[in-house]
Structure 1
Amino acid sequence: MPTRREEDLSQAADEVATNNYQPSDYQSSSFTEKGLAVTHEQVSDDYMEGNNDPAKRP
């Protein structure tokens, strides 16, 4: 039988898995939606920056 913590983690994972980024997430009061907004921004920044490995820079 799962513990209360395992149930909470499973519920949180389900919430994250059923959501996707929306621009309105920055103003949301939901912890999950704010986290998606921050993660989206970080990934977007890294993608736009390109490779940050000095050995592979031109």
Structure 2
Amino acid sequence: MKQAWFCPNCGQPMEARRHIDNPTGQTTWSIGCLNPKHFHTRGYINAAIAEIQLEKLLHQ
């Protein structure tokens, strides 16, 4: 990620995660807090797009 992002709920650093759909082999990326109950983006085609969407969501 180009910048460090922090969870708006707990202030902990968020991380980018890669998810692979086994049947199709499609890779998606999400960014979120390590706590699964806190903030997460949906899956996006690459990490850069996920980061852009995260910025939009956090600055609404």
Q: TM-score, normalised by structure 1?
A: 0.32
> Over alpha carbons, which structure has the higher Rg?
1
Q: TM-score, normalised by structure 2?
A: 0.31
Highest relative contact order (Cα 8 Å, sep 6+), 1 or 2? 2
The structure richer in strand per residue is: 2
The structure richer in helix per residue is: 1
